Amino acid sequence: MAATFYNYIAGEWVPARSGKAFPNENPATREILHYFPDSSADDVGDAMAAAVKAARRWRALPAPRRAELIFRAGQLLLERKEELAREMTQEMGKVLVEARGDVQEGIDMAFYMAGEGRRLFGQTVPSELPNKFAMSVRVPKGVVGAITPWNFPIAIPCWKLMPALVAGNTVVFKPSQFSPKSAWNLVRVLEEAGLPPGVLNVVFGEGAVPGAALVDASAVNHISFTGSTTVGRKVGVRCAELGKSVHLEMGGKNAIIVMDDADLDLAIDGAVWSAFGTSGQRCTAASRLLVHRAVHDRFLDRLVDRVKTLRLGDGLDPRTDVGPVVNQPQYEKVLSYLQIGRDEGATVAVGGGPAKRDGLPPGYFIEPTIFVDVKPEMRIAQEEIFGPVTAAIRVNDLDEAVAINDGVIYGLSSSVFTQDVNKAFRALERITTGIVYVNAGTIGAEIQLPFGGTRATGNGHREAGQAALETYTEWKTLYIDYSGRLQRAQIDLETDDDA
Ligand code: UN1
């Protein structure tokens, strides 16, 4: 019998008030691993009340002290990396090496943000008036609601929780229903690291109910959401109605540009890794390949040969290159795009359907698929598929490649393979996505730099690096006049000789 796990509210592990629970399924084997609380608005209300209650004392604790707890959490994640990675693979399917990388990304963020406890820099600037001091400091926003996806079940929560907590916010965390155990493991680590009760609360749930309740919760000041553009847009509209600040990280339709002078071996490695890593279920995945006509056929022939050698299987098996997709709805969605691509007139160069290989467990396996003869306006070249599928488009030159690259609603990540420094810099300058790589694929962002995208990918904010602090803090501007008389800014501009 699979064990049941609980929400964490006000420092206690508690079931949903309704007593209901939902199953957590292994996408490789379809076995039920655990049950988690199927929470409702009442449970979110309890978590919000706990976060409000804890807020005053938490923000009063000096930031270096808060950061020590985050540092301790980083150490615990490091100690448990292997165990956490295995549980992640079991519940969402990515291969073990990538699950380890996911946990590592969380560790990196914990250590980086722990350092921020002794920085959290503000700005001190001269006043225009004598005997007056002016500065700005960062203060927490209050209660933060964090809504996270299943594809990076430790890393993305860490992108949100670590900066939010170091900056002095309290948090209500609503993880994806498709990776609850990883979220539970992370919260347990933060509990053991010594976070006071109520500072971090986690509410599990199936479907939209607890997420919507969190967005609506009156005392939640800021929402940070990572997920689909469809849901994110709704979250953004609701936050606008309620006057809340909101940070959205949404879809992508990223491309690798392969120029005629590219190192093709390198470009093939980059394409395989970026298109089929995490079974293509990254918002940064390379779901388009824009290949110069002079190398198009050579590149694709070799890429297809390589993709044929990829081994599908359970991510826990060290021989596996590509795991399953995360669940039945996602499996069906990806398969429907394979049909859409054919109907649009694209050609399947490799893959193209459910994987029916001998020895595969009964999970959601799809053959790594490359479409060729793709036109930039086809749906498979415009819409986010979030599966092991990529679409190759023939291009004539860099300008055309850049135009096609940017000709989608999304703007997350791009990459260009070229040995020509002029072309590389031209691409870096012109491409309008939030992240651009040269001679590397579209995935693999590092946590000390801003992460996020333009257009329908985001709403102007960035995750990670210093940019993360912008979304979890408010600026407070402080003026101290020690002249002993009323000095009027913009008006009393004569220099005071007695100053
Ligand atoms: C995501 O796919 O939602 O750059 C995040 C990368 C990872 C993060 C991906 N560091 O691919």
pLDDT of residue 493: 81
Q: Is the pLDDT of residue 496 over 60?
A: no
Which is the closest atom of ligand 1 to the Cα of 446? Answer: 10
Which is the closest atom of ligand 1 to the Cα of 443? Answer: 11
pLDDT of residue 499: 47
Predicted confidence (pLDDT) per residue in 44-67, tens digit? 999 999 999 999 999 999 999 999
Architecture category of domain 3-250+458-477 in CATH: 3-Layer(aba) Sandwich (3.40)
Give start-end residues of each CATH 3.40.309.10 domain in the chain: 254-438
Predicted confidence (pLDDT) per residue in 220-278, tens digit? 999 999 999 999 999 999 999 999 999 999 999 999 999 999 999 999 999 999 999 99
> In this prediction, what percent of the chain has a pLDDT beyond 70?
99
Q: Is the pLDDT of residue 4 over 70?
A: yes
The answer to pTM > 0.85 is yes
Output the CA 448–ligand 1 centroid distance in Å.
13
Which is the closest atom of ligand 1 to the Cα of 149? Answer: 3
468-486 average pLDDT score: 97
Predicted confidence (pLDDT) per residue in 351-394, tens digit? 999 999 889 999 999 999 999 999 999 999 999 999 999 999 99
3-state secondary structure the chain: CCEECCEEECCEEECCCCCCEEEEECCCCCCEEEEEECCCHHHHHHHHHHHHHHHHHHHHCCHHHHHHHHHHHHHHHHHCHHHHHHHHHHHHCCCHHHHHHHHHHHHHHHHHHHHHCCCCCCEEEECCCCCEEEEEEEEECCEEEEECCCCCCCHHHHHHHHHHHHCCCEEEEECCCCCHHHHHHHHHHHHHCCCCCCCEEECCCCCCHHHHHHHHCCCCCEEEEECCHHHHHHHHHHHHHHCCEEEEECCCCEEEEECCCCCHHHHHHHHHHHHHHHHHCCCCCEEEEEEECCCHHHHHHHHHHHHHCCCECCCCCCCCCECCCCCHHHHHHHHHHHHHHHHCCCEEEECCCECCCCCCCCCCCECCEEEECCCCCCHHHCCCCCCCEEEEEEECCHHHHHHHHHCCCEECEEEEECCCHHHHHHHHHHCCCCEEEECCCCCCCCCCCCECCEECCECCCCECCCHHHHHHEEEEEEEEECCCCCCCCCCCCCCCCCC
Output the CA 318–ligand 1 centroid distance in Å.
22
> Of residues 87, 283, 384, 463, which has the active-site annotation?
283
The token duo for 488 is: 């009027």
pLDDT of residue 497: 58
Give start-end residues of each CATH 3.40.605.10 domain in the chain: 3-250+458-477
Output the CA 451–ligand 1 centroid distance in Å.
9
For ligand 1, pick from 105, 152, 254 the residue to mutate: most ligand atoms within 8 Å of CB: 152
Report how far residue 358's alpha carbon sits from residue 339's, in angstroms, rounded to the nearest whole number.
24
Pocket of ligand 1 (CB under 6 A): 105, 151-152, 282-284, 443-445
pLDDT of residue 498: 54
Domain 254-438: state its class.
Answer: alpha beta
Output the CA 248–ligand 1 centroid distance in Å.
14
> In this prediction, what percent of the chain has a pLDDT beyond 90?
97
For atom 3 of ligand 1, which residue has the closest CA? 283
The token duo for 279 is: 């079974």
137-166 average pLDDT score: 98
Is 158 an annotated catalytic residue? no
Output the CA 142–ligand 1 centroid distance in Å.
27
Is 283 an annotated catalytic residue? yes
> Of residues 87, 105, 191, 249, which has the active-site annotation?
249
Confidence of residue 494 (pLDDT cuts 50, 70, 90): confident
Q: Are 164 and 113 in contact (CB under 8 A)?
A: no
For ligand 1, pick from 229, 413, 446, 451 the residue to mutate: most ligand atoms within 8 Å of CB: 451
For ligand 1, pick from 94, 273, 282 the residue to mutate: most ligand atoms within 8 Å of CB: 282
The token duo for 358 is: 């001998």
For atom 2 of ligand 1, which residue has the closest CA? 282
Output the CA 442–ligand 1 centroid distance in Å.
9
